[in-house]
Amino acid sequence: MLRRRDRRAHDEEFVAYYAARAGHLRNTAYLLCGDWHLAEDLTQTAFTKLYRAWARIDRHDVLDQYARRVLLRTFLDEHRRPWRRERAVLPGDETLDAVVPEHRGVEDRQVLKTALLRIPKGRRAVLVLRFWADLSVEQVAEVLGCSTGTVKSQTARGLDNLREVLGDTFEPTSLKGQS
């Protein structure tokens, strides 16, 4: 009987965490992949993996960091699969060379999201973790399993890539002078 109570408490704790953080993790997944359906799948897979490890997690004070790491690894694993190597547009297509018009508000977010999808996924991951998830350089290095120098250089290169993709027509205040 004790095991059932432990199991019930375990499940209730997990459900409470899911209810509180699923939306944020799904938004992070969306910024990584740019597709709400895939973001849902990635989030669900990440929470499934998190649930399987729930009983072994000792430090619940770092659950968000652990969940982001699981999500990021799930995202990277998903893109390693051969059927994910599809391209919606061919290189040289005029859609890739389109000039981004100057927008404000909701349009800015859409333009920025589209630009994020056009930079390498490793740099995109660093930018999302640094500027969306608001993690420090050290935290991003821990999540990605790399040095802080790598995070700094990938952040700088990622921001450069974003500036190249966006051109002079778009310079959100959140990216000015940051590296």
Is-above-0.75 flag for pTM? no
- Find out whether 32 and 127 touch, Cβ atoms under 8 Å: no
Distance in angstroms (rounded) separating the CA atoms of residues 139 and 145: 10
CA distances from residue 95 to 28, 67, 91, 179 in whole angstroms, order as listed: 26, 35, 9, 28
Written as one letter, the residue type at 160 is D
Residue pLDDT, tens place only, 2-55: 366 677 887 888 999 999 999 999 999 999 888 899 999 999 999 999 998 888
Residue pLDDT, tens place only, 61-117: 788 888 999 999 988 887 666 555 455 556 666 666 666 555 456 777 788 888 888
- Find out whether 24 and 116 touch, Cβ atoms under 8 Å: no
Contacts of 25 (CB under 8 A, 6+ apart): 43, 46, 47, 67, 68, 71
Question: For position 77, what pLDDT does the model report?
Answer: 82
